[in-house]
Amino acid sequence: MQTRPLGSSSLSVTPVCLGTMTFGEQTAEDDAHSQLDLALERGINFIDTAELYAVPPRAETYGATETIVGRWLARRDRSAIVLATKAAGPARHMPWIRGGALDFTRDNLRSALDASLRRLQTEYVDLYQLHWPARNQPMFGQWQYDPAQERDHSPIRAQLEVLAELVQAGKIRAVGLSNEHPWGVMQFVRHADEFGLPRVASIQNAYNLLNRTYECGLAEVCHRENVSLLAYSPLAFGHLTGKYLVAADAAGRINRFKGFGQRYEKPGVAPAVAAYCSLAHAHGLTPTQLALAFVLSRWFVASTIVGASSLGQLRENLDACETPLSADVLAAIDQTHLVNANPAP
């Protein structure tokens, strides 16, 4: 599998990244290790995790995913793997993480990274990401910015200064953002350039057939500032497989964890999924093939994060990633999008 540069960093990543957030909740350790082995066998060099995983986040599984990945990583050639993890920010109430003190202060970021390194059994992380902004922003199904929700937070320059110290210490190689917005990306880039601090290499945001909001502002910003997109949730929590149209009670995290995946609990989701499933079948494709191949076809996507709750599901998803889409199919997708634009922002 060929690799692509990650922003202006020295990292090169495969266009498919293995997401691990099910490890330790939906996926037992043996199966998780088998998934990691399969990813390596298929040429994938990029693994993404986070300190708060497994999901949905809860005290009982905090750190479980990194621990599972770490036990696997300890028996592998570390230099052959691009490992990404994330620091949890203050947008969610999670008192079991560092006592709930989650602002991106110097102490919190250093503590978060050191704990991740211990669980991952490694001396460094290739890509260290801020899981969501420390400031007030609409996220995870919210879609309107509300200035009344403003809160105190560490300034962006101060966050970068801490990350610069961690780069200098050899604990991280590159810096990334997640669930960020255009203003935030520009502020991180501006402070980096003005004060000689690390430039963000990537942004990890949701991007799929139901949520193309990245194209409305972020695509231009990230292209001009050389920030790569790591697209997560390409199957929209399983909705774009079409399984919930066939059976509303189908097995999956939407039904297993009620209230999880708020952004897909909107009235336009089901009609849009039905339209994309119909389009896929009309062109001899499965809905999964259509959804994954679409994300991989986008010029601004450096890597697509593909996760699974089982080895068989991962194998199916990786096979689907190898499906090329014709110009006619891509044009039909855009026409469908104009009728069903971003029902799950």
The CATH number assigned to the domain holding 137 equals: 3.20.20.100
Contacts of residue 170, Cβ cutoff 8 Å, sequence gap at least 6: 123, 124
Q: CB 107: neighbour CB atoms within 10 A?
A: 11
Number of domains in the chain: 1
Burial call 49-59: b when 16+ CB within 10 Å, e when fewer: bbbbbbbebee
Residue 126, domain member (yes or no): yes
Answer yes or no: are the C-beta atoms of 251 and 169 closer than 8 Å: no
| CA atoms in the 13 A half-sphere facing the CB of 221 | 21
Q: Where are the beta strands (DSSP E) in the chain?
A: 4-5, 12-13, 16-19, 46-48, 82-87, 125-130, 172-178, 200-206, 228-232, 301-306
Pick from 154, 172, 180, 13: nearest CA to 82: 13
Contacts of residue 324, Cβ cutoff 8 Å, sequence gap at least 6: 293
Predicted confidence at residue 112, as pLDDT, reads 97
Predicted confidence at residue 143, as pLDDT, reads 85
Give how far the C-alpha of residue 198 lies from the chain's centroid of Cα atoms, to the nearest Å.
21
Q: Is 53 a catalytic residue?
A: yes
Strand pairing partners for 19? 48
Predicted confidence at residue 21, as pLDDT, reads 97
Q: CB 253: neighbour CB atoms within 10 A?
A: 17
Computed from CA positions of residues 91, 97, 98, 104, in that sequence, does the dihedral angle turn out positive or negative? negative
Q: Can you tell me the distance from the alpha carbon of 145 to that of 98, in angstroms, rounded to the nearest whole number?
A: 28
Catalytic residue among 53, 62, 214, 264: 53
Residue 344, domain member (yes or no): no
What pTM did the predictor assign?
0.97
Residue 165, domain member (yes or no): yes
Per-residue pLDDT of the chain (345 residues; tens, 9 = 90+): 899 999 999 999 999 999 999 999 999 999 999 999 999 999 999 999 999 999 999 999 999 999 999 999 999 999 999 999 999 999 888 999 999 989 999 999 999 999 999 999 999 999 999 999 999 988 888 889 999 999 889 999 999 999 999 999 999 999 999 999 999 999 999 999 999 999 999 999 999 999 999 999 999 999 999 999 999 999 999 999 999 999 888 988 888 887 777 889 899 999 999 999 999 999 999 999 999 999 999 999 999 999 999 999 999 999 999 999 999 999 999 999 999 999 999
List Cα–Cα distances, 230 to 48, 67, 191, 227, 234, in angstroms.
10, 23, 22, 10, 10
Q: What is the CA radius of gyration of the chain?
A: 19
Residue 345, domain member (yes or no): no
Pick from 189, 191, 196, 179: nearest CA to 222: 189
Answer yes or no: are the C-beta atoms of 322 and 239 closer than 8 Å: no
Identify the burial level of 344 via C-beta atoms within 10 angstroms of its C-beta, where 0-12 means exposed, 13-18 middle and 19 or more buried: buried
The residue segments making up the domain with residue 18 are 4-339
